[in-house]
Structure 1
Amino acid sequence: MILGLVILGAYSAYKYAYKPHKSINELEVKFSGTSDVFLDKVKEDVSLWQDVVVELTGTITSIDKKGITIDSSIYCQLETATAVEALKEKQTITIKGRMIGYDDLLEEIKLDKTIIK
């Protein structure tokens, strides 16, 4: 009886600690708009936007193997590298991603788990 409770407790703790991560599609968007407006909001108070999911519209200014830069101020690390090949600079897109940081010296926001809408 006690052994059964211990096993059940250990199994429950394991499932809780190692539950699968939610995909970016399942997470709620806290801000939706243009990249310029979002950059202004982040400059006001960075702490409000840390680890928040956003949906932004902007123009691609550069592309690398792992992601894109929108409007020269938001670097988006894409969830899948294959998506980069279909993109072109000066293309207007809408993305959804999670903010992981802000570099106030370069005035650059970093997003991860980014998908293209």
Structure 2
Amino acid sequence: MKRNKIIILTLIILVFVVGGLVYNYTFNTKHRNISVEEATVSMSAENLYNHFYNNEKLATTKYLDKVIEIEGKITSVENNEIILNDKIQVSFNIDKMPKVAEQILLTIKGRCVGYDELLEVVKIDQATVINKQN
């Protein structure tokens, strides 16, 4: 009987400890603000795509989850995304989507999410416009 009480008490303590850790991890993590971070690298959309196309593993090591600055021509505009040079898929936050049109030269800053082998595009999210040229 005493052994059962010890086991139950241990389980209750374990549940509280695990619950506290999960709560702390979920609600107390600081979220990155990509728009105020400095870009670690700046390059053309074509260059970034070629890095991933030629050596995806190395490019992933170098650029994944890094803030990068990309310049390219807009080839497609959809909802809160644009495509640069048919190779870079750029996602904006809904409230930060710039008013742009196709064939405009654009420089953006965002977080590199990786390479989508199926669509053959490099994905950038949390992007902001640095420079827009007609």
Q: Could you state the TM-score of these two structures normalised by the residue count of structure 1?
A: 0.76
Matches within 5 A, 1:34-53: 34-43=44-53, 44=55, 45-48=58-61, 49-53=63-67
Structure 1 unaligned blocks of 5 or more: 1-9
The residue that corresponds to 1:116 in the other structure is 129
The residue that corresponds to 2:36 in the other structure is 26
> Does the aligned pair in 2 maintain the 1:75–1:110 contact within 8 Å?
yes
Q: For the residues of structure 2 that align with 1:105 and 1:14, how far apart are their CA atoms?
A: 36
Aligned residues: 105
Q: For the residues of structure 2 that align with 1:46 and 1:104, how far apart are their CA atoms?
A: 13
> Does the aligned pair in 1 maintain the 2:96–2:128 contact within 8 Å?
no
Instruction: Letter of the 1:74 partner, please give it.
Output: I
Residue 14 of structure 1 and its aligned partner are, at CA, apart by 4.8
Correspondent of 1:67 among 81, 87, 91: 81
Could you say which structure has the higher helix fraction? 2
Residue 21 of structure 1 and its aligned partner are, at CA, apart by 1.6
Question: Alpha-carbon deviations, 1:16-67, whole Å to 9, x = none?
Answer: x614323113323222010111111223224212111110000000011111
- Aligned-pair identity in percent equals 26
The residue that corresponds to 1:90 in the other structure is 103
Question: Alpha-carbon deviations, 1:65-95, whole Å to 9, x = none?
Answer: 11111000111111244534x2010000100
The residue that corresponds to 2:117 in the other structure is 104
Q: For the residues of structure 2 that align with 1:106 and 1:65, how far apart are their CA atoms?
A: 18
The alignment yields a C-alpha RMSD, in angstroms, of: 2.4
Q: For the residues of structure 2 that align with 1:107 and 1:50, how far apart are their CA atoms?
A: 16
> Does the aligned pair in 2 maintain the 1:56–1:95 contact within 8 Å?
yes
Q: For the residues of structure 2 that align with 1:30 and 1:82, how far apart are their CA atoms?
A: 22
**What's the secondary structure of 1:36's corresponding residue?**
helix
Instruction: Letter of the 1:35 partner, please give it.
Output: A
